[in-house]
Copies of this chain bind each other. A is one copy, B any other.
Amino acid sequence: MKKLINAVDDVVKEQLEGVAVAHPELTVKIGPHYVYRADAPVAGKVAVVSGGGSGHEPMHGGFVGMGMLAGACPGEVFTSPTPDQMYECAKAVDSGAGVLFLVKNYTGDVLNFETAAELAHADGIKVQNILVDDDVAVKDSLYTAGRRGVGTTVIMEKIVGAAAEAGKDLDACADLARKVNLMGRSMGMALTSCTVPAAGKPTFDLGENEMEIGIGIHGEPGQKRMAMTTADEITEMMMNEILDDKGYSRTVREWDREAGDWVDKHLTDEPYSEGDQFIVMVNSMGGTPVSELYAVYRKVDEMMKARGMTIARKLIGPYITSLEMAGCSITLVKADDELLGYWDAPVNTPGLRWGV
């Protein structure tokens, strides 16, 4: 394992110390770890908070700032953060307008954020948890932990962050987050494994002519292993899974503030169709340079045109990564004017910045 790190146990801490000195507009707390806008709580505004294992940078810490997240809770590498981080972060950023936790659908993230929501609620903080589960590589929710939360998270954080900045209340922000999730689909692939610092060696081995299709973002193996092929064929394979996806149903637990308890909610998304417009992200898993993403984007654009679909906005680069893994993911979020409006709103974070 060769990485620019010092001691394996200090990886997350030292990276956060770097964030702290690089970005005085953020406040970084070490032990329990969380990062939040230095100007938080922002009066009258809902605080959008996310978190997850480290190793996905710039997500989430790099998306904290004006117009996006109020705070983020980084766990150990690829390990969901703990409820105390989330709870402390919520207390730091809550203006009284409430805290919205955006939670990627992994058992660990879900359970830890649930506990955090309970703690925050007990403290009188208005709170809601919204899941992201957009990974079409996971086929059903009955025989699995359900679709993973992947690329749509980035787009959700931007859009819901903009809505919060615009003064929307907690329920409106939660509704918007749920809507983005139902509009979003992703699929990823790996050319190489990555190495969790604490493990010291690659999570899996891939032959010189192999790739993993349908991976998540934790260096885990994917849906299937295949012989390496061209960028066009890889893109086609992933795009077809995304575009042909036929409406996915799941049951999610959301927080009932009145009852002070969890309620099950059944959600189904609709297939995409001709004439739809999208926010598209072609994302590097970390080790793939942006140049290769453009070759993929070229094919994405071609395929969408062939289906009479429009790319209204795009992101091309490393936004939700798996350490130094080589590979890419594609995310589509069907977008209406409301979503595009929030997308275009100013944002000023280490990882995403425009309009300011």
Instruction: Select which of B6, B54, B301, B324 is within 8 A of A287 by beta carbon.
Output: B324
Chain B residues with CB below 8 A from A18, complex form: 293-298, 301, 316
- Interface flag for A187 (CB, 8 Å): no
Inter-chain CA distance A290–B16, complex, in Å, is 12
Q: B5 touching A314 by the CB < 8 A rule?
A: no
- Interface flag for A221 (CB, 8 Å): no
Inter-chain CA distance A17–B15, complex, in Å, is 36
Binds B, one of A90-98, A113-121, A148-156, A230-238: A230-238
Minimum CB–CB distance from A144 to chain B (whole Å) comes to 28
- Interface flag for A318 (CB, 8 Å): yes
Beyond A289-B323, A323-B289, whether A228 also contacts B2 by CB under 8 A is: yes
Minimum CB–CB distance from A147 to chain B (whole Å) comes to 24
* Assembly stoichiometry (copies): 2
Inter-chain CA distance A326–B55, complex, in Å, is 16
Q: B291 touching A22 by the CB < 8 A rule?
A: no
- Interface flag for A266 (CB, 8 Å): no
Q: A4 touching B293 by the CB < 8 A rule?
A: yes
Listed residue (A234, A286, A350, A354) with the most chain B CB atoms within 10 angstroms of its CB: A286
- Interface flag for A62 (CB, 8 Å): yes
Interface residues of A in 14-35 (CB under 8 A from B): 14-19, 21-22
Inter-chain CA distance A228–B55, complex, in Å, is 22
- Interface flag for A58 (CB, 8 Å): yes
Inter-chain CA distance A209–B1, complex, in Å, is 8
Minimum CB–CB distance from A331 to chain B (whole Å) comes to 15
Interface residues of A in 41-58 (CB under 8 A from B): 54-55, 57-58
Chain B residues with CB below 8 A from A5, complex form: 230-231, 292, 295
Beyond A57-B289, A286-B289, A289-B323, whether A297 also contacts B2 by CB under 8 A is: no
Number of interface residues, chain A, beta carbon within 8 A: 57
Q: A292 touching B3 by the CB < 8 A rule?
A: yes
Chain B residues with CB below 8 A from A14, complex form: 231, 294-295, 298
Inter-chain CA distance A162–B106, complex, in Å, is 45
Beyond A22-B314, A353-B354, A356-B354, whether A57 also contacts B2 by CB under 8 A is: no
Q: B11 touching A295 by the CB < 8 A rule?
A: yes
Chain B residues with CB below 8 A from A294, complex form: 14-19, 22, 57
- Interface flag for A211 (CB, 8 Å): yes
Minimum CB–CB distance from A288 to chain B (whole Å) comes to 6
- Interface flag for A321 (CB, 8 Å): yes
Chain B residues with CB below 8 A from A292, complex form: 3-5, 15
Chain B residues with CB below 8 A from A230, complex form: 5-7
- Interface flag for A64 (CB, 8 Å): no
- Interface flag for A170 (CB, 8 Å): no
- Interface flag for A192 (CB, 8 Å): yes
Nearest B-chain residue to A55, judged by Cβ: B291
Chain B residues with CB below 8 A from A323, complex form: 289, 291
Q: A6 touching B354 by the CB < 8 A rule?
A: no
Inter-chain CA distance A287–B211, complex, in Å, is 17
14 contacts between A and B (CB under 8 A): A2-B192, A2-B208, A5-B231, A6-B231, A14-B294, A14-B298, A18-B301, A55-B289, A62-B290, A286-B287, A287-B324, A318-B318, A324-B326, A354-B354
Chain A to chain B: the 4 pairs with minimum beta-carbon distance, closest first: A18-B294, A18-B298, A4-B292, A57-B291
